Amino acid sequence: MSHLRRKLAFSYGLMIIIIFAVSAWSILNVVHLGRAIDVILVNNYKSILAAENMKDALEREDSSAMFFIASHGDKAREQFDASSKRFLQEFEIAATNITEPGEQEVITDINSKYQAYKSGLDAFLSGSPARTSAEQSRVYFESLEPEFTALKNRVDDLLHLNQQAMVSANDRAVSVSRRAEISTAITAVLAIAMALVFAWRFTAYVVDPISLLAEKAKRIGEGDFDQHISVSSKDEIGALATEFNRMLVRLRDLRKSDYGRLLIEQKKSDAVIDSICEPVIVTNSSDRVIKINRAARQLFGSSLNNDAGGANLEGLEGGERILRAVHDAVSMQRPVAAEGEAATVPIKLDGAERDFRLRATPMRDGEGRLLGAVTLLEDITAITEVDKLKTEFISVASSKLREPLHSLRLALHAVIGGSVGELNDKQREMLDSAHENAGKLDDLIAELLELAEIDSGKRRLSLERLRPVDLTRDAIERFRAAAESKQIKLENKVWPDLSWVVGDRRAIISILDNLISNAIRHTDRGGQVTIEAGEHVGRVLFSVKDTGDGIPEEYLPTIFSRFNRVGDKPGGTGLGLALVKRLVEAQGGQVSVESRVGEGSTFSFALVTGGPASIRHTA
């Protein structure tokens, strides 16, 4: 019984010896090559890198003079100090890595020239700011610019000296590498030839009986139990063949008794799925349909049937969204039960369109292995019709109210203006209050109409490329007077070099106006409102931060809901933040809030960057 074990032990031993020989020779060559490369890296690469960095730092030091001439003294001094520190750090690296003839003289010359240049530039930046730009330019080009050029040329000499040394070392490394390639190739060819001869002999003794055994086992796995394995060898393979033959006899007996029970269990499973009144689709790991219930057959008709067992979801009406939900459930390894329009699939049934909500769940066996997914389609047509009716009612009611409200505001404006006679103080006070309340009601109706347009899909967004700094600068100007009336500092920290965003100008203006007006309303006199923007992973994140009262934690989950108001500050309709959320999401962005009581609030929204110059999109 140990014959096969001896064969395998001998084969493994021979292969190990061959691999060891080839590996040892390869390692020896790699060590020689590594030493040649180390010469390049240790002797010259550090000096080259230091020279490049010195040039970069030197150019930045020189540009600080330009900043000083341009009347940016603070920025010039800041850049001079940082660049000087960096130059000295890189010079120290180069000075401690002198490996080539003549390199010490170059280093000494660079040090002396840099000290003279640094002293001159420091004196230039510390000079009187009363000098004109022309006088400063003359001083720079007469004294500093020649010293800068000479110093830069000496740094270039250091760079070229080490580059030339690296080229020579590289030639030596190439020669070592070429010899290593040839010797390793010869060793590998000899080893492969020995391995091929051995593999051919090993196949004759071992692999052929194993191949026969594998072929028979494959047929048994496919359900063909009428097999007999004939292997005459007396080793472990022969014993395995004997046990296989005994197992086949038992399997034939078990098949006769278990097959009926399996059919009964399968029929029970089919009956359970068919009893569910909602359409159910079961897919395998390849997104192919393997089972459907009666409701799904009635819904999709001939496009899907239980006998197909391999129908493709993409061929169904609404199949792309169903397939997307299946992919999400399988990839995230958890049920997918999203809300909103993205999780709704419209499907025509008996000539009428009905709305179904997707519910996709991963399907696993008893051992936890992923088999596919089960998708349930829940009929929510009645719910969506109620939502549409509610949206249409709000839209119609708001439209009908707006015209008489406009007439009322005009009448109040005329009366307050004295068109119908003089008013006493009490009458004017009451009319002013009525006019203000009519304005608030008009704002509420306008926001209700805009929300209704977004919910119904009537609001069309004209997407275009916009500069963040232009959007925030205009918003600041619109609210500067309101902020100054409360002595609130309104600060714009959005820089011009940010990437352009893709969005609807009117929608972004509405978003910023709502957030800034809320920030000013909830910030006490003497506070501050700051607008910031930063770029991250293909998006620009806008933030409106205030130093106001803050929002209690229990209000944060519903802060973007309709008619949700926090605090007792006057003004506001309770719809502004709901409108902000809808407008941001309609442009493919996200909105969030961070707040603590007594520390102010920060509202943020993200928009995608780049994109074509003009795109039309329906919200």
Distance, CA of 45 to CA of 99 (rounded, Å): 11
Residue with the larger pLDDT of the pair 64 and 166? 64
Q: What is the pLDDT of residues 8-31, one digit of tens each?
A: 676 777 778 878 777 777 777 676
Return the top range by mean pLDDT from 91-105, 209-223, 406-420.
91-105
The chain-wide mean pLDDT, for the chain, equals: 75
pLDDT at 232: 66
Q: Write down the pLDDT at residue 532.
A: 94
Residue 533 pLDDT exceeds 90: yes
User: How far is 126 from 77, CA to CA, in rounded Å?
Assistant: 9
Q: Is the pLDDT of residue 349 over 60?
A: yes
Report the distance separating Cα 376 and Cα 278, nearest Å.
7
pLDDT over 60 (residue 435): yes
CB atoms within 10 A of CB 219: 12
pLDDT tens-digit readout, 49-94: 888 888 888 888 888 878 877 777 778 788 888 888 888 888 888 7
pLDDT at residue 617, rounded to an integer = 43
Regarding predicted confidence, which is higher, 248 or 91? 91
Do you know the residue count of the chain? 619
- Answer yes or no: is pLDDT of 573 > 90: no
Q: What domains does the chain contain, in order, with CATH numbers?
A: 3-193 (1.20.120.1730), 227-275 (no CATH), 276-377 (3.30.450.20), 386-454 (1.10.287), 460-618 (3.30.565.10)
Q: Reduced to 3 DSSP states, what percent helix, strand and coil does the chain have, rounded to the nearest 5?
A: 65, 15, 20
At 450-461, the pLDDT tens digits run 666 666 555 667
Q: In this predicted structure, what is the pLDDT of residue 455? A: 60
Q: How far apart are the C-alpha atoms of 237 and 214, rounded to whole Å? A: 11
pLDDT bin (cut points 50, 70, 90) of residue 619 is: very low
Q: Residue 468 — very low, low, confident or very high, per pLDDT cuts 50/70/90?
A: very high
Q: How confident is the model at residue 109 (pLDDT cuts 50, 70, 90)?
A: confident
pLDDT of residue 531: 94
CA–CA gap between residue 315 and residue 322 (Å, rounded): 11
- The CA distance from 54 to 112, in Å, is 15
What gap in Å lies between CA 18 and CA 365, rounded to an integer? 45
Judge if pTM exceeds 0.75: no
Quick one: angle between helices 208-221 and 236-275, nearest 10?
Answer: 20
**Position 110 pLDDT exceeds 60:** yes
**CA pair distance 450, 442, nearest whole angstrom:** 12
What are the φ and ψ backbone dihedral angles of 281, each rounded to 5 degrees? -125, 125
β-strand pairing of 489-493 with 528-536:
parallel
Location of structure tokens 């619109």: 478
Query: Burial level of 292, CB count in 10 A (0-12/13-18/19+)?
Result: buried
